[in-house]
């Protein structure tokens, strides 16, 4: 009833005649020859994502990848498992280390103790990729490293896929199709991001290089000419046809897809004062990372005008210079690097007096002395730049000795506008006399300032009581510094921090003499008002408090709840000095550590950070609401998609190779059973008969029916082989007792038939 299956005999006439010529080169060497130019072509395009270009660095990455491939080719054929494994591990680790170093990662971060810092930096760079403009010109070194590292990772993955050692029975190493997918991503992602410069020429070159990589190892020497002619002919034909198929509307609008995949993740701020309750959300999202030599307040705009009710940004262009600088104090000059991580704004964020936005970042124009705004699109997450700033940190002795020799431009910071009056002849504003001089404030009429007679105009407004307070405090102070101390102490005295101050028609007067409730807007606004009334030039500044210092990265981490408002006071020869009247007892994230001491101690009051959670924003004017921080961009999606596709192809290739029968099928009608047993780990010996299998498998009658039907087909010439129910029964027997994984393996071993009859399996 059963007989041993016998292999087919060799054809009559002896052995086959050898081909006229051999292969062009060893398969591994031919693949390496095809890999290098294709990877270099993709690397040149990837390197153009940065300015200055990083194509030289990516080319070095290709050479490292080629060396790793050569190592895999050298160790892969070894019969010793340790040599093959050692070569694979050395190639993988070498590619990883080389990629990190070529991407500009400091060598110290490769030590295991610094891996958390390395991971945080790489994550920062990767998270910024969705919003950056390419070619990237920013100053964020982690974004540059992330871009180079991404390209290096694709090249390294392609090398591992192309040359990975396989079992000794396999003719060639690696998975060339999966490697081609990775190298295709290396070329196409920059094309999609930047737009092709020469789309048809570039596509033709890529087509030729891709064909060389995939098929060079399969060619004999006598086939090279014909193959080259065919590939060139197809490429030329494609170049002629493609422009005519290039319709007005894209077949696949990848730009629209990218916009849909990229969520809004930036918060906007309106910096003018409103004095209303804070009702907007503050979720602690990271908005800035700033590298600076010393701690500072990070300023966005100056609120230099009091409009009769609140402090606003006048955007005044009448002043060309608005500060003196003590050139001998070099430590007061520094270059800061700002990385936007979660705020959308047209204003550049600096510190103290911003002297210049350095080249290499977004275009900037001077908004007013000491502040800049974007010349193009607003700054958004991913933007980065370097700024040269002047931030004075004088001590008490320097402030006392600063004197009252104010420069002419400082007098502009002694004005306040008066509330509107019904009479058209009434003064619109007053300018108070500088500290150290006597006389009434000057009045501003439509035709200009008129000296004196300002007391009556101020007394006719709701600010009469505040003016009286300012004159009283000024009378007891000998220097502007002492007067400043007295004002800050009075603003804090008896006041309570509250994010929901009561509404008032004149908020600052009510804060000073009524409710005594407020947050940073009330504290800073009232202090600046009293200082101007007392003849000391002052203004309100808005932006962010220093945040928290990341000591490992040497950067200040600033979050959205660090938005803040403070004051700047002018001292001759020193310039604008930062002071903060908001109480330190408020829920601040951090405080200036070198400014401490109670207001009554004779030293400066604690002008360190007060409330760092004060957004100087009208709730009704709040910009884009914060969105989740785990946004996605098409660039990492495309990269992950390419890597996933390469992984799927590699897995499919591995499964296909694993499913092949050792030595091929014994006969067409036995191939399916032979393959199913092999894939489930029951590879039969060559001498195994169908009768032996029938006894060993056992099981249901239907499963035994499969073997009987197969025997009848093979030896009796009867029937068409096992039926579908018999195949299902055998599948259940193969999976019996192996759980869910066993069922999946049985489905892979004996998949459902397509159609009424399966084609013979050829292994």
pLDDT confidence of residue 151: 93
pLDDT confidence of residue 612: 37
pLDDT digits (tens, 9 = 90+) for 488-511: 999 999 998 888 888 899 999 999
Pairing mode, strands 555-559 and 384-390: unpaired
Compute the average pLDDT of residues 529-551. Answer: 93
Q: Who wins on pLDDT, 329 or 752?
A: 329
pLDDT confidence of residue 656: 53
Confidence band of 167 (pLDDT split at 50, 70, 90) = low
Compute the average pLDDT of residues 72-77. Answer: 87
Does an H or E element contain 558, and which?
Answer: strand 555-559
pLDDT confidence of residue 265: 61
pLDDT confidence of residue 426: 73
Tell me how far apart the alpha carbons of residues 331 and 312 are, in angstroms, rounded to a whole number: 31
Predicted confidence (pLDDT) at residue 325 exceeds the cutoff of 90 = yes
Compute the average pLDDT of residues 518-542. Answer: 95
pLDDT confidence of residue 12: 41
pLDDT confidence of residue 731: 78
pLDDT confidence of residue 263: 46
Domain boundaries, the chain: 27-257+634-655, 662-749
Predicted confidence (pLDDT) at residue 86 exceeds the cutoff of 80 = yes
Predicted confidence (pLDDT) at residue 481 exceeds the cutoff of 80 = yes
Tell me how far apart the alpha carbons of residues 722 and 702 are, in angstroms, rounded to a whole number: 10
3-state secondary structure at position 540 = strand
Lowest-confidence segment of 55-59, 531-535, 695-699 by average pLDDT: 695-699
Predicted confidence (pLDDT) at residue 23 exceeds the cutoff of 70 = no
Tell me how far apart the alpha carbons of residues 415 and 434 are, in angstroms, rounded to a whole number: 11
Beta bridge partners of 334: 389
Compute the average pLDDT of residues 410-427. Answer: 80
Predicted confidence (pLDDT) at residue 690 exceeds the cutoff of 80 = no
Burial class (CB in 10 A: 0-12, 13-18, 19+), 390: buried
pLDDT digits (tens, 9 = 90+) for 646-674: 555 555 555 555 555 555 555 666 677 77
**Prediction pTM value:** 0.59
Compute the average pLDDT of residues 396-414. Answer: 93
Written in H, E and C, the secondary structure of 206-265 is HHHHHHHHHHHHHCEHHHHHHHHHHHHHHHHHHHHHHHHHCCCCCCCCHHHHHHHHCCCC
Number of H helices, E strands in the chain: 21, 21
Q: Check residue 596 and report its DSSP letter.
A: -
Could you give the C-alpha distances from 9 to 15, 211, 662, 666, 677, in angstroms and in order? Answer: 12, 38, 18, 11, 25
Angle at 304 between CA 302 and CA 305, to 5 degrees: 140
pLDDT confidence of residue 750: 76
Tell me how far apart the alpha carbons of residues 82 and 79 are, in angstroms, rounded to a whole number: 9
Peptide bond into 542 cis (omega under 30): no
pLDDT confidence of residue 2: 37
pLDDT confidence of residue 215: 83
Confidence band of 732 (pLDDT split at 50, 70, 90) = confident
Predicted confidence (pLDDT) at residue 254 exceeds the cutoff of 80 = no
Beta bridge partners of 448: 445
Pair 517, 496: CB distance under 8 Å: yes
pLDDT confidence of residue 751: 80
- Name the packing angle between helices 668-679 and 701-711 (round to 10°): 140
Confidence band of 595 (pLDDT split at 50, 70, 90) = very low
Confidence band of 243 (pLDDT split at 50, 70, 90) = low
Q: Who wins on pLDDT, 36 or 553?
A: 36
3-state secondary structure at position 751 = coil
pLDDT digits (tens, 9 = 90+) for 193-231: 776 677 778 888 888 888 888 888 877 766 777 777 887
Angle at 600 between CA 495 and CA 529, to 5 degrees: 50
Q: Which residue has the tokens 């891709």?
A: 210
First-to-final CA distance of the chain = 27
pLDDT digits (tens, 9 = 90+) for 558-589: 988 888 899 999 999 999 999 999 887 554 33
Please state, rounded to an integer, the average pLDDT across all residues of the chain.
77
pLDDT confidence of residue 629: 36
């Amino acid at each position: 009833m059963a007989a041993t299956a016998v292999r087919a005999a060799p054809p009559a006439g002896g052995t086959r005649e050898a081909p006229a010529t051999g292969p062009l080169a060893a398969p591994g060497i031919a693949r390496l020859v095809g890999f290098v130019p294709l990877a270099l072509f993709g690397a040149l395009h990837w390197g153009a994502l940065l300015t200055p270009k990083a194509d030289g660095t990516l080319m070095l990455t290709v050479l490292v990848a080629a060396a790793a491939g050569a190592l895999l080719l050298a160790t892969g054929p070894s019969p010793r498992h340790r040599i093959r494994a050692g070569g694979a591990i050395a190639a993988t680790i070498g590619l990883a280390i080389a990629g990190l170093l070529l991407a500009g990662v400091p060598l110290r971060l490769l030590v295991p103790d610094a891996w958390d810092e390395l991971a945080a930096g790489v994550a920062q760079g990767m998270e910024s990729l969705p919003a950056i403009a390419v070619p990237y010109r920013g100053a964020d070194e982690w974004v540059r490293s992330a871009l180079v590292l991404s390209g290096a990772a694709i090249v390294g993955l392609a090398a591992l896929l192309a040359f990975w050692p396989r079992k000794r029975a396999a003719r060639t190493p690696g998975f060339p199709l999966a490697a081609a997918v990775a190298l295709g991503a290396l070329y196409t992602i920059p094309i999609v991001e930047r737009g092709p410069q020469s789309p048809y020429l570039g596509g033709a070159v890529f087509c030729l290089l891709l064909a060389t990589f995939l098929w060079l190892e399969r060619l004999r020497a006598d086939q090279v000419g014909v193959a080259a002619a065919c590939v060139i002919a197809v490429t030329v034909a494609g170049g002629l046809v493609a422009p005519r198929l290039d319709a007005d509307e894209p077949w696949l609008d990848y730009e629209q897809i990218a916009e849909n995949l990229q969520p809004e993740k930036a918060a906007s701020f309106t910096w003018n004062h409103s004095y209303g309750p804070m009702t907007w959300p503050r979720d602690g999202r990271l908005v800035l990372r700033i590298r600076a030599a010393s701690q500072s307040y990070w300023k966005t705009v100056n609120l230099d005008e009091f409009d009769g009710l609140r402090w606003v940004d006048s955007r005044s262009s009448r002043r060309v210079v608005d500060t003196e600088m003590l050139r001998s104090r070099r430590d007061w000059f520094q270059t800061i690097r700002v990385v936007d991580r979660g705020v959308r704004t047209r204003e550049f964020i600096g510190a103290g007096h911003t002297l210049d936005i350095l080249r290499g970042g977004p275009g900037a124009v001077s908004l007013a002395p000491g502040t800049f705004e974007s010349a193009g699109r607003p700054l958004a997450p991913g933007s980065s730049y370097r700024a040269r700033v002047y931030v004075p940190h004088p001590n008490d002795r320097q402030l006392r000795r600063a004197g009252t020799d104010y420069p002419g431009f400082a007098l502009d910071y002694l004005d306040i506008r008066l509330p509107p009056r019904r009479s058209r002849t009434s003064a619109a504003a007053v300018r108070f006399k500088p500290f150290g001089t006597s006389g009434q404030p000057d009045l501003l009429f439509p035709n200009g300032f008129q000296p004196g007679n300002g007391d009556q105009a101020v007394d006719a407004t709701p600010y009469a009581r505040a003016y009286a307070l300012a004159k009283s405090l000024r009378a007891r102070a000998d220097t502007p510094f002492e007067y400043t101390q007295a004002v800050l102490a009075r603003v804090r005295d008896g006041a309570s921090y509250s994010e929901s101050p009561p509404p008032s028609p004149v908020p600052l007067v009510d804060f000073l003499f009524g409710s005594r409730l407020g947050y940073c807007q009330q504290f800073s606004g009232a202090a600046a008002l009293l200082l101007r009334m007392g003849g000391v030039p002052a203004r309100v500044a808005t932006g962010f408090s220093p945040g928290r210092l990341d000591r490992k990265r040497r950067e200040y981490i600033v979050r959205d709840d660090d938005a803040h408002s403070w004051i700047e006071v002018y001292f001759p020869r020193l310039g604008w000095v930062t002071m903060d009247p908001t109480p330190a007892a408020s829920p601040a994230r951090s405080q200036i550590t070198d400014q401490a001491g109670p207001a009554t101690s004779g030293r400066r009051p604690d002008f360190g950070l007060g409330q760092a959670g004060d957004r100087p924003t009208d709730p009704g004017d709040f910009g884009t609401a914060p969105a989740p921080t785990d946004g996605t961009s098409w660039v990492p999606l495309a990269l992950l998609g390419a890597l996933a596709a390469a992984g799927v192809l590699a897995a499919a290739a591995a499964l296909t190779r694993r499913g092949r029968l050792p030595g091929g099928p014994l006969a067409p009608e036995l191939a399916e059973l032979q393959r199913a047993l092999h894939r489930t780990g029951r590879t039969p010996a060559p001498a195994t008969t169908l009768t032996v299998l029938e006894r060993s498998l056992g099981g249901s009658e239907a499963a035994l029916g499969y073997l009987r039907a197969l025997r009848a087909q093979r030896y009796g010439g009867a029937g068409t082989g096992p039926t579908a129910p018999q195949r299902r029964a055998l599948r259940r027997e193969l999976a019996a007792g192996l759980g869910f994984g066993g069922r999946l393996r049985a489905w892979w071993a004996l998949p459902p038939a397509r159609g009424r009859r399966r084609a013979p399996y050829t292994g």
